[in-house]
Amino acid sequence: MKRIDRICVVLMLMLLFAAPCAAEMLDLSALGEIEEAQAFEEELPQKEWTYPISYELLKTSDYIVLANRESLLDEDYVPDDLTKDLSCRKISYDPIQMRQTAADALCALFDAAEKDGIYLYAHSGYRSYRTQKTMYNNRLEKNNGKDDGVVAYPGSSDHQTGLGIDVINKAGIGKKFTEAFGETKQGKWLAENCWDYGFILRYQKDKEDITGIIYEPWHLRYVGVQVAQYMRDNNLCLEEFTEEWKEAVAEYEAAER
């Protein structure tokens, strides 16, 4: 055989042996892929989760708790991670308590404000059910037994969550809180920046009908950064957000069954 013929024979032999092997490999890998896809499909729930906040966060975060007249906190609900006292600037002779994560976030917020030349003061944080009840009864007494909405009904106060905090400026020290705070440099800075530190303005002016509470530009509430930014971007108050996510979860879980 000529050299060229020999090369041809070798090539043909190679093809004869190699082709079935390659085919076998192809088949095997294809089979593997199908099995993988099937396993993945079985893991997937029936309905796709499309809500912008993860299902897991909504089901596990206790920073999104809603406290209002319709959704009362338990008489003996006390968060188990309260700080002894806030470490950031405050105006109070008594210790101010908050849940640890919220307290840390507040310090970060105050630090950021200071960098912009804004000086903020924490005024009151966690309030127990019992304290709220005393405040509420005192208010009723002063107001001839009528609830004027100024002091929250026991169990409905955002302060009992340990995630709410009243923040004021230097000019507000020792004075009654008024909505004019929202027009101050400090109030405007808060309304603009609190979201990026996980806080929302819990009681906004255009949501009074829904929250049932007057506009309080000084009352911040920690919910976590992702939720706070989502609420800001979609102009939702906590009541609206709660209704929205609960509906998404209910739909998803109904479809899963």
DSSP class of residue 99 equals B
Nearest residue to Zn ion, scored by beta-carbon proximity: 219
Catalytic entry in 70, 216, 240, 251: 216
From 244, 249, 241, 210, select the one nearest 223 (Cα to Cα): 241
β-pairing verdict for 121-124 and 164-168 = antiparallel
User: Could you say whether residue 156 binds Zn ion (CB under 5 A)?
Assistant: no
Min separation Cβ 252 and Zn ion, Å: 34
Interacting span for Zn ion (CB under 5 A) from 99-107, 133-141, 160-168, 233-241: 160-168
Q: Is 239 annotated as catalytic?
A: no
d(CA 113, CA 117): 6
d(CA 142, CA 45): 56
**Closest CB to Zn ion among residues 58, 152:** 152
Min separation Cβ 122 and Zn ion, Å: 11
- Interface with Zn ion in residues 210-239 (CB under 5 A): 219
Binding Zn ion (rule: CB under 5 A), the pick from 96, 106, 155, 166 is: 166
Q: For the sheet with 121-124, list strands across it.
A: 121-124, 164-168, 216-222, 199-203
User: Could you say whether residue 123 binds Zn ion (CB under 5 A)?
Assistant: no
Helix axes 238-256, 225-233, angle to 10 degrees: 110
Record the tokens describing residue 243, joined without a space.
């209704």
Interacting span for Zn ion (CB under 5 A) from 89-97, 131-139, 165-173, 193-201: 165-173
Summarize as ranges the residues that interact with Zn ion (CB under 5 A).
166, 219
Active site residues: 216
